[in-house]
Structure 1
């Protein structure tokens, strides 16, 4: 888990519009830019820019087919974020266990 990989994924998902695009992609096997643009309130150019960022972060892949390009989620792209969160999950479980022990001790006094 490198800090650079975590930063890239977090920056990519920090933007609410880009996160919405990513979420729409997760809801389909494959989807085109035109389909992502439809009903989003964002221009096709903006959607394309968001897709570029998601692609560079390793969160989506593209498959050209004639005039269309199909996008799909690349689950492995979330591994840096998952690893980072898992690390802190252990941290907080340990802290909550210590707090629980302390509260039991205080309750018995």
Structure 2
């Protein structure tokens, strides 16, 4: 199999960047960063438990959880009448690693071409 050329890698990295955009958006907000940190310390939390640990309102926390869920950084499970959220970052972390690996390949190719 032939190694990808610069144009192919640039097309791939562009696609990967688009796929990572929801992750970047989710991670950019300090409130969502705080929620992620809360979830690293607990197996799962419901909205009320997150609100107890935050100065934000229930509706604001729900909004932030929706964005984290869309970015596939958290998953939810309904138990009785409550929805519990837990961190599930393996997929997004792999997406970011793939994006960085492709970017590094492009940099290496361009460096080699310049020499």
d(CA) in 1 for partners of 2:17, 2:96 = 10
TM-score, length-normalised on structure 2?
Answer: 0.70
- Indicate yes or no: 2:44 matched with 1:30: yes
Partner of 1:51: 65
The number of equivalent residue pairs is 94
CA RMSD of aligned residues (A): 2.2
Q: How far off is 1:4 after superposition? A: 1.7
Given that 2:43 and 2:86 are in contact with CA atoms closer than 8 Å, whether structure 1 keeps it comes out as yes
Kindly indicate whether the alpha-carbon contact (under 8 Å) linking 1:33 and 1:48 is maintained by their aligned counterparts in 2: yes
Larger Rg: 1
Unaligned runs of 5+ in 2: 1-14, 109-115
Residues 1-109 of structure 1 mapped to structure 2, 5 A cutoff = 2-75=16-89, 76-86=91-101
The structure whose RCO (Cα within 8 Å, separation 6+) is larger is 2
Please give the alpha-carbon distance, in whole angstroms, between the structure 2 residues aligned to 1:49 and 1:19: 14
C-alpha displacement at 1:6, in angstroms? 1.3
